[in-house]
Amino acid sequence: MEIVSITVEKRSVCGKGPARRARAAGKIPGVFYGPNQRDAITLEVDEKEFAKKIAVLEGSALVQFDSPTPELKSRMVLLREVQSHPVSGAVLHADFYEVDLQKKLEVTVALHFTGKAAGVEAGGILQPIVREVTVECLPTEIPAFIEVDVTALGIHDSIHVADLKLPAGIEPVYDTNFTVVTVSPPTVEEVKVEAPPEGAVEGAAAPAAEVAAPAGEAKPGEGAKKPEKGE
């Protein structure tokens, strides 16, 4: 994989005030740490250089420090975390984690779904369940992304993490063989039956209640006389 070089400088002071001043001067404050690093080192990197070399990278990129500070020069690191402004998106802080090129580590790698699933051609819906997975590999073997071909997937078919085709030397990390992507059947639109207007049922039954009484019988309420004895 490509190794990106970036210039960093050690910060002599730390805290919110110095960090704000560093950003105002076009610098991004950061920190360098690792398993073999007893104490974290605060540093800063040029904002424009970071945007040009680091921000455009996808996934866990391997970075080499270039620095006038001996304890930082030539260190191999991964960009572990980036804090960004919630509105402007500007990078506020960066964490760099030192790695040993001879030791495997766990990293998160993005998934790229390619092809058009057969199930989608039949009207189904492609549903990615996850868009990244954790893998274990050497730092120099970290892929930019993992390609997942969904062409053969029919409706109700799925690809699980164990099915992923990974480059040699890269192993997926998981406890259960979870689903990565599936094709669900097309949704059937429910046909709604409109309820009749209020009073429509009562109105329809009314004529039956008004059927004329047989000849010789008086309708209730018309003042029919009770027959006298002998009539």
CATH numbers and ranges of domains, the chain: 3-98 (2.40.240.10), 105-184 (2.170.120.20)
In terms of DSSP bridges, do strands 27-33 and 62-66 run parallel, antiparallel, or are they unpaired? unpaired
Q: State the pLDDT at residue 206.
A: 47
pLDDT tens digits, residue range 117-153? 999 999 999 999 999 999 999 999 999 899 999 999 9
- Rounded to two decimals, the pTM is 0.71
- Average the pLDDT over 192-206 and give the result: 58
Q: State the pLDDT at residue 199.
A: 59
Q: Which residue has the higher pLDDT, 229 or 22?
A: 22
The answer on pLDDT for 228 being more than 80 is no
Question: Backbone dihedral region of 219: left (phi > 0), alpha (psi from -120 to 50 degrees) or beta?
Answer: beta
Q: What does each C-alpha distance from 68 to 30, 49, 83, 216, 221 come to in angstroms?
A: 16, 16, 25, 121, 111
Are 129 and 181 in contact by the 8 Å Cβ rule? The answer is: yes
pLDDT tens digits, residue range 34-76? 988 889 999 999 999 999 998 877 777 789 999 999 999 999 9
Q: State the pLDDT at residue 139.
A: 93
The answer on pLDDT for 9 being more than 90 is yes
Q: State the pLDDT at residue 37.
A: 84
Q: How far apart are CA 1 and CA 57, in angstroms?
A: 12
Q: State the pLDDT at residue 191.
A: 60
Amino acid found at 15:
G
Q: Which residue has the higher pLDDT, 125 or 215?
A: 125
The answer on pLDDT for 213 being more than 80 is no
Residue 160 CA, distance from chain mean position: 17
CB half-sphere exposure, 30, CA atoms < 13 A? 29
Q: State the pLDDT at residue 230.
A: 44
The model's confidence at residue 31, banded by pLDDT at 50, 70 and 90, is very high
